Structure 1
Amino acid sequence: MEPGSSTDVSIVIPTHTEKRWASLARTVASAHAQTHRAAEIVVVVDHNPEMAGRVRREFPGVTVLENAYARGASGNRNTGAFHTRTPFIAFLDDDTVASPRWLAGQLAPFADPSVVGTGGGIIPAWAARRPTWMPDELLWAVGVSYTGMPTRTAPIRNVWSANMIVRRDAFLAVGGFRAGFGKLGDQNRPEDTELCLRMSSAKGGRWMYVPGATIDHEVPAERSTFGFLMRRCYAEGRGKVQMAGLMPKDQELGAEKDYLRRILPRAVARNLADAGTGRGMYHALRAATVVAAVAAAAWGGGVETLAAVFEGTSTDGTI
């Protein structure tokens, strides 16, 4: 790719712990191996100076930065993104491996100037066997593409930061990821969804999903348990209520409502039908898992709603 090309792109990879060193090495290698060569690969280390030094020593040709903001993925990504100067900024997580044509495929929709960002397909790389009780509709809980998403290139409300490319001017216009809002510890606030909504609202643009522009996303064994799924759904319920509180009043969580009203009921019905026709009793487990997941998310949403009510009461004496 010639310098100054209109499709120049930088890749930002946030990281925070040497426990992921092997997976980070695979991510960086896949970034270097793109058919559409990146102008710059930036690894941003989250408040871990020793790891930052090791990255500098062991990854030649990579720009290494340290998170300039509060600990967390949002500040980490912003540090890298604000450093870049290319028209496009791509984001990968440090536990992913991009397919060779990932960048090329995902940059294509930007030929339309109304596109402010794109996302691609995310394939699970299970460390253990995939649980038989896990339905395809709940694969979002382990950070991968799920049933209900488009199967061909199409507009979409939001994509995930593990596999995202943004138009730099649109990203900067909204100040990047929201500081203090994101995944940290046991909090699981959807900072990528919130960013997508702000960017499309501010610029009047749209997001495109390119399922063929794939990455593999590691799913460690501890995320293959029923307990993890319930905790993840509970946290998602809380996070979506928090996000709704940041959105303009005229914006609704339409995608979530459609998912709850259409996608999940079909999943329950289909799996019960499959179990009833002798296709395997694990289908009954999948139907029960969907019901449990909805209950966990509803519980989390209810807890967050009550917390907001009580917080409002304590600060101004009214509800």
Structure 2
Amino acid sequence: MQHARLPDGFGIRIDPKVRAYSGGRVLIGGSPMRMLKLAPAAAAMIGDGYLEVVDSQTAVVARRLLDSGVANPRPMATPSPSDVTVVVPLRDNVDGIARLVPALKGLNVVVVDDGSRTPLELPDHVTLLRHETSRGPAAARNTGLRSAETPFVAFLDSDVLPKTGWLERMLGHFSDPAVALVAPRIVALEPEGSMLARYEHARSSLDLGRKEAAVRSGSPVSYVPSAAMLVRRDVLVEVGGFDESMHVAEDVDLCWRLQEGGWRLRYEPVAHVAHDHRVSFGKWFTRKLFYGTGAAPLAARHEGMVPPVSMSKWTLFAVLAAATCTRIGLLGSIATLLVTMLRLRRTFRELDQPTRIAAILAARGFVGGVWQLASAMCRHYWPVTLLAVLLSRRIRRLAFVVAVTEGVVDWSTHREPGGLGPVRHTAFKRLDDVAYGAGLWQGAARARDLRALTPRIGS
């Protein structure tokens, strides 16, 4: 499937945030940001930003654009919902399954009762399987997977409610034979209510945002949650399904195993599935901490794919030097950026506007590095930041500025109508990060493995 040809009629559209230079021969953008050089013939195929596959040459160009992240798919056909089995793992959530089952009318539905204290009673058209003792959600999903006979399997948790058209909007992606998994956007079932409910509406860990994307490690959409996903059954069986030894981050592990196997994964935010968020503070905080404990087992299974910080040593130096807020530090940061720009310029010297392209790449790399370190200070490394704050007045001031600025920027990029203001959002974001970071350190200590805390610094 690594080189699976896109079918004729399949279309791709260049992402609107991608910028073209040198007559369309250089594209800069994508997530994460990258630079893509095209041959003149390939650039001519794109035209106004849309390319339809009509032969082997256009298929090759379209595949490269998709895999580089600068283009998004526009599928040509949609398999039938009758080709899908919906698998719902469940334990004791009677109210949730009563709400969910009517929304799945007309579909093949398998509910796996994972050791509920009271056995369930469901309508006759729903297949009910039962584990007498709880084996965890991964095992329940695998039990449902083994019972399915359709080409596709949708996994939905019992605390979700799919919106109209959710399935059809995802199915179209499978006209690309290399796509193994597609996931919808997960939104709040009840967006109104307490301050915590409104924060979760804007910033739930399950909501991956409004922007369509390829799912790959190291990108803004590095995984998709198993609360709602659609997969090719044969592919999932081939890779062994979910890892039943994992009770957290098993969805991340599955995404990365599929990626390592050469399969493509897509996030489709036009498809919506609503989730009944935890909005009592104790349950919310505990859940965030639990998510953090998943980093250590992931780091052990996927070497180098769970770094809290990933950047070049030159970007790291430039950011740290600027953070000193001293004259020498600022001069060192500027000098490093200029050297980086000159090195990049040599790469583009045969193209139009080489200086401008190099400056854009250097500036974006620096801004990305600043954002990574600011986020890591508040989230992954907050115990280290706290210790430094207690020891240094200068770091105390810097940490305060970073904590406030990062929170306000996060609010501005995630705010929803009726949501919290910047002050309350920032306060909840800091608590969110404290919980996740505590879980991260707890998991690393329990596993006696620091790989989940080790930054990846390249040359």
Give the Cα–Cα distance (whole angstroms) in 2 for the partners of residues 76 and 122 of structure 1. Answer: 21
CA distance in 2, matches of 1:111, 1:263: 40
Q: Is residue 305 of structure 1 aligned with residue 444 of structure 2?
A: yes
What TM-score does the superposition give when structure 2 sets the normalisation length?
0.53
Equivalence for 2:252: 193
Secondary structure at the aligned position of 1:269 is classed as helix
- Paired residue secondary structure (2:440): helix
* Alpha-carbon spacing, 1:49–1:296, altered in 2? closer, same or farther (3 Å): closer
State the secondary structure of the residue aligned to 1:207.
strand
TM-score (norm 1): 0.74
> Which residue matches 1:234?
289
Contact kept in structure 2, 1:102 and 1:213, CA below 8 Å: yes
Q: How does 1:162-311 map to 2 (within 5 A)?
A: 162-182=227-247, 189-202=248-261, 204-219=262-277, 223-247=278-302, 249-253=303-307, 261=372, 267-270=406-409, 282-309=421-448
Match of 1:315 in 2: none
Alignment partner, residue 79 of structure 1: 143
What is aligned with 1:44? Answer: 112
2:163 matched residue in structure 1 = 99
Aligned to 1:314: none
Instruction: Structure 1: give runs of 5+ residues left out of the alignment.
Output: 183-188, 274-279, 311-319
The one-letter code sitting in structure 1 at the alignment partner of 2:167 is: L
CA 1:24–1:272 in 2, change beyond 3 Å: closer, same or farther? closer
The DSSP-based 3-state class of the residue aligned with 1:195 is helix
Change (3 A) 1:83 1:134: same
Q: Is the 8 A contact 1:135 1:290 kept in 2?
A: no
Specify which of 10, 17, 22 is matched with residue 95 of structure 2. Answer: 22
Distance of aligned partners of 1:237 and 1:271 in 2 relative to their CA distance in 1, 3 Å threshold: closer
Which letter maps to 1:119? A
Give me the identity figure in percent: 27
Q: Which amino acid aligns with 1:224?
A: V
Deviation digits for residues 114-141 of structure 1 (CA, Å, limit 9, x no counterpart): 111000011212397141672766311x
| 2:448 aligned counterpart, secondary structure | helix
Paired residues of 1:6 and 1:87 also in contact (CA < 8 A): no
Number of residues paired by the alignment?
A: 275
Greater relative contact order, per chain length (Cα 8 Å cut-off, separation 6+): 1
The structure-2 alpha-carbon separation of the partners of 1:201 and 1:70, relative to structure 1 and needing over 3 Å to count, comes to farther
Distance in 1, Cα, partners of 2:113 & 2:439 = 31
Q: State the distance in 2 between where 1:232 and 1:174 align.
A: 28
- In 1, the alpha carbon distance for the partners of 2:82 and 2:306 equals 33
Distance 1:305 1:49, change over 3 A: closer
